[in-house]
Structure 1
Amino acid sequence: MSASTQDNWVHFSRDADTGIELFRTHITGNTHAYDPHWHDDYLIGYNEQGLQQFHCRHQVQRATPGSSFLIEPGELHDGESPHHEGFTYRALYLPADWLHRQLGGIFENLPDHYELRAESTLSEDRLLLGSIASAYIALRENEPRIVRNACLDQMIERMTAHLSWRKTQNSELLLPRLAREGRDFLHAHLYEDIGLEQMALALGSDRFRINRSFKAAFGMAPHTYLIQLRLVEARRLLAKGVKPAEVASDLCFSDQSHLGRWFRRAYKLTPAAYHRSCSPG
């Protein structure tokens, strides 16, 4: 599936066996590319051409041609093209549960109560780049299953040089109460048309204190967080085959066009195009 707007374009497909999503995208120069957002998947890819600039881990990341990138599930990031020629990149979205299952074949004993961490967002490891490119092509061209498996295994093995195990910590205790309870409130009311006053009443505070606490903890206001949370859920529902209009209604967008405007700002795809590619049958 391909989509384009003027000089911007996206090639997207989804591997039925693994659930891995493939993106190859070109963004024109001197433009804002993506709103701050996150994914439930591991995002691995590389920059083909131009300079891709984005914020992640409280830093400005600058991916040049040949740079690989690895973004963990839940890591907030955006994107922009600061130079006239724009940038082009390829990426694979690896479902977290799928990746963890594959790692069981690499490590004899997976540590308990630990989780994966990318040592750094960007890498200049040429072997990693080559393994990403091979895996992308094998899936994109629907090579025989044994070839797809071999290329993915090679990529994962190379990834492990850039991953470490970190002890799973209860980070909840580090969050201010208002931020923690505010986030829980948003998750609990994902499918309801809630307002800030309703949230403030439930938390026994006021909207201004909640806003300040939430921004300090999560880097965005509650309403922005809720929109992004709903976009992640929209992707999940669309991939399951739920129709875009139904997804929009369920997640409290005013209509399919409203969902589409937010969806394109985060993913450069319409919900309908994403739905078609994930459920070709």
Structure 2
Amino acid sequence: MREERHRARQHRTGLPGLEAVAVSSDRSFPRHAHDQYGIGVVLAGGHRSWSGVGAVEAAAGDVITVNPGEIHDGLPIQARIRAWQMLYLDPALLAGLLREDLPRAGEIARPALHDPVLAGRFTRLFAGIAAARPDAFAVEQDLVGVLMHLFARYGGGPAPRRGPPPFVARALRRLEEAPGEAVTLAELAGLSGVSRFQLIRGFARATGATPHAYLVQQRVRLARRLLAEGRWPAAAAAEAGFADQSHMTRAFVRQFGVTPARFRAALA
């Protein structure tokens, strides 16, 4: 079995609601979603992902983006290591920064952008964050510049995405509202009024994931929020519904590329 080569470093940003991570990896990430906006730049190699607009590819120098709640995955092109830097912004932070200029920023329309000017602004911003002694004023100024460029040109988003069928929507609501609680396929099928097979097939068509995979995603996102609130990893694992801390750690690393402990430490 080929050994994965993966390194991730989380940086303190000093700005609540903003996270920064630098990754070098040949790992394939399963389909998942984030609670935040994601904006980044590919530094080396190539990256392929499935998104709401279909399959896309990004090469070194390209900007990559994701909207809150948007299902996506990520894998290297030709099994090679690719490196990228990424910022994750809480929607409330973004709305506060752009309220006066872009009151309706909406979604980012494209998940991969070839925009050298935007990439250069992002690279300068990330370098400021990763500096030994970040200048908070300069970081905030450069962040606003990146967001204005991004949303002025690529904001507003595509036409509204069709919602899932009602029976899938009911299952989604159950998994999203109480991810920490135990659930069975029979319960979800009963809520949805379909057979187990119909639920699995319809769920995968609508979300790109199985009900169990989606539940794990929701549990990881809940654990992430709990860690950001100051919970210790063991407590976050229990509250999020994982069997133990090691199960949470494996799922967390698969989805976010860093361990829960490193994520929590970067926010301290």
TM over 0.5: same fold?
A: yes
Normalized per residue, the structure richer in strand is: 1
Within 5 A, what are the aligned runs for 1:85-164?
85-107=80-102, 110-111=103-104, 116-141=106-131, 142-164=133-155
Determine if contact 1:214/1:222 at 8 Å carries over to the other structure: yes
Secondary structure at the counterpart of residue 133 of structure 1: helix
Q: Is 1:222 paired with 2:211?
A: yes
Offset of residue 167 of structure 1: 9.7
Report the AA paired with residue 156 of structure 1. L
What TM-score results when the alignment is normalised by the length of structure 1?
0.87
**Aligned mates of 1:138, 1:9 — CA distance in 2:** 21
Secondary structure at the counterpart of residue 131 of structure 1: helix
Aligned to 1:11: 9
1:194-249 CA distance string (max 9 Å, x none): 11112223333321121122122212111111111111111111111111111111
Report the AA paired with residue 98 of structure 1. L
* Aligned residues between the structures: 265
* Alignment equivalent of 2:63, drawn from 61, 68, 93: 68
1:44-99 CA distance string (max 9 Å, x none): 11111111111112522211111111211111111111335411111111111100
Determine if contact 2:31/2:208 at 8 Å carries over to the other structure: no
**Aligned mates of 2:53, 2:240 — CA distance in 1:** 29
Aligned-CA RMSD value: 2.2
Determine if contact 1:44/1:69 at 8 Å carries over to the other structure: yes
**Aligned mates of 1:267, 1:215 — CA distance in 2:** 22
Offset of residue 257 of structure 1: 0.4
Report the AA paired with residue 138 of structure 1. G
What TM-score results when the alignment is normalised by the length of structure 2?
0.91
Secondary structure at the counterpart of residue 75 of structure 2: strand
Percent of aligned positions that are identical: 25
Determine if contact 2:185/2:196 at 8 Å carries over to the other structure: yes
Unaligned stretches of 5+ residues in structure 1: none
* Alignment equivalent of 1:45, drawn from 32, 40, 44: 40
Aligned to 1:206: 195
Determine if contact 2:8/2:21 at 8 Å carries over to the other structure: yes
1:167-217 CA distance string (max 9 Å, x none): 99695xx43221111111212332211111122233333211211221222
**Aligned mates of 1:100, 1:269 — CA distance in 2:** 27
Determine if contact 1:119/1:162 at 8 Å carries over to the other structure: no
Determine if contact 1:238/1:247 at 8 Å carries over to the other structure: yes
Aligned to 1:259: 248
Offset of residue 136 of structure 1: 0.9
Report the AA paired with residue 264 of structure 1. V
Between 44-53 and 140-149, report the one with greater CA deviation. Answer: 140-149
* Alignment equivalent of 1:249, drawn from 233, 238, 241: 238
Q: Is 1:239 paired with 2:228?
A: yes
Secondary structure at the counterpart of residue 199 of structure 1: helix
